[in-house]
Amino acid sequence: MTVSESLDSIVRIAESVRSGGCSAEAIARETLSRVEAREPSVRAFLHVDHEGFVAAARAVDAKRARGEELGLLAGVPIAIKDALCMKGVPTTAASRILEGYKPVYDATVVARLRAADATLVGKTNLDEFAMGSSNENSAFAPVHNPWDLSRAPGGSSGGSAAAVSSRMCLGSLGSDTGGSIRQPASFCGIVGVKPTYGRVSRYGLIAFASSLDQVGPFATDVRGAARMLRVLAGHDPHDATSLDAPVDDYEAACDRPVAGLRVGIPREYFGPGLDPEVDMAVRRAISCLEQYGCTVKPVSMPHTKYAVATYYVLATAEASSNLARFDGVRFGLRKEPDHDLRSMYGATRDAGFGPEVKRRILLGTFVLSSGFYDAYYLKAQKVRTLITRDFEAAFQEVDVLCAPTAPTTAFRLGEKTHDPLAMYLSDIDTLPASLAGIPALSVPVGLSANGLPIGLQVMAPHLHEARAFAVAAACERHDALHVGAPAAFP
């Protein structure tokens, strides 16, 4: 098997390296060749770790030469969202305030990838501090969608999604607070998974909204994403929110039959604002599931309409607290004071934070302020409970929920930058699952008339990621739903 033949899926690469069909170093060098050719037009990376990447690949080959058993991700080139700490490698969260910062430790998910013998290409671009839906809020450069370079890749994990979509790597890590894995996966025509809250450790993730943030994988196919999650999932004593629960064999779940599963179709996800082409593609995918023996049932989730408002109260409140630590004292950017410490704080934060981050800090500070806490923050927490109960009620009737991942295909760069509300509404279909903490993934199920990918969102009860993978894999197997890779980036 040639190197190029191996570079089409995570599982194929790992098995080829494990069997000796390909060397990890050859795959790494082919990957770097792709990065050199494709990165200038996509702008997915903030830092490519050339030396560390090749050294890791050589270490995998040496391990195999010694007769040692290789990990599940042997030789697989994986990129890391730049909101995750990677020891000795620049980690900025795409913000000027962390420019030049190099962590002294690996995030738990990074350590687990290394332990599984993955090779880490570098750090991917994102919306600053993961705050955005288009990757245009990066302090360094916007990312371009590989399917149409004039369009956004989605956000905030747009760099991670675009790197996989353009085949500059076969897997990547993103973080999802309100849709930041699933929406870019939909826009870029790949698979993206938000696990159950607490299923994957957040230790080493630069926090945005701690009750919502989750780390998850991107991959070119469902099975690759399942294998990555199998490596990433599990209890971590470094993370107080980490769940101590058994980890399923998600990859094996991809082969499970779906006949007999009850698929719920939430009415509220198919209302005004949904692009007709997205509606048609999603309904076609659901019809394909019926062909596999699934039973389809409409369900109602009446508090869905409050998800956007609820999220932007809770997430901004938590952001205003989490980002208080970036003050110019301990790490990153520092503007010397004009006359006292307070002025140094102000000057550093003013220079270091971008407009969207400042907007969210101000919103969060407002909703937590005296006289407004009960009216906004406390009320939003109560509505979050109602949204969670909607899901609990729905899962009494059905096994999974299927809906659009995003209401539209990828929009043009610059199209929504001057209208924050329009940008926020692009996450309308992903926010409810985030607020409820349930697992949800996006799988590509079609292309629009102008060749842009459309994603189906599969949502499951807490800790039932395996069920979502089974449904997504069934969709992927159906010829009518095949999407493939962007023509310019095979």
Please give the positions annotated as active site: 81, 156, 180
Give the residue from 4, 45, 2, 126 showing the smallest Cα distance to 489: 4
Count of alpha carbons within 13 angstroms of residue 335, beta-carbon side = 18
Dihedral class, residue 64 (left if φ above 0, else alpha if ψ from -120 to 50, else beta)? alpha
* Unique residue bearing structure tokens 């993730």: 205
Question: Residue 227: what are its φ and ψ, rounded to 5°?
Answer: -65, -40
Residues ≥6 apart with Cβ < 8 Å to 154: 133, 134, 135, 145, 161, 183, 184, 185, 186, 187, 188, 406, 410
**DSSP-based three-state secondary structure for 431:** helix
* Unique residue bearing structure tokens 């058993």: 69
* Unique residue bearing structure tokens 């671009």: 125
Cα gap 107→378, rounded to integer Å: 32
Q: Which two tokens stand for residue 193?
A: 């998974």
Bridge-based pairing state of the strands 45-48 and 119-124: antiparallel
Provide the CA 47 distance to its chain's centre, in angstroms: 18
Cα gap 190→472, rounded to integer Å: 12
Cα gap 483→442, rounded to integer Å: 13
Give the number of other Cβ atoms within 10 Å of residue 293's Cβ.
12
Q: Which two tokens stand for residue 11?
A: 């599982």
Alpha helices for 292-375 (secondary structure H)? 307-322, 341-352, 355-368
Cα gap 315→212, rounded to integer Å: 8
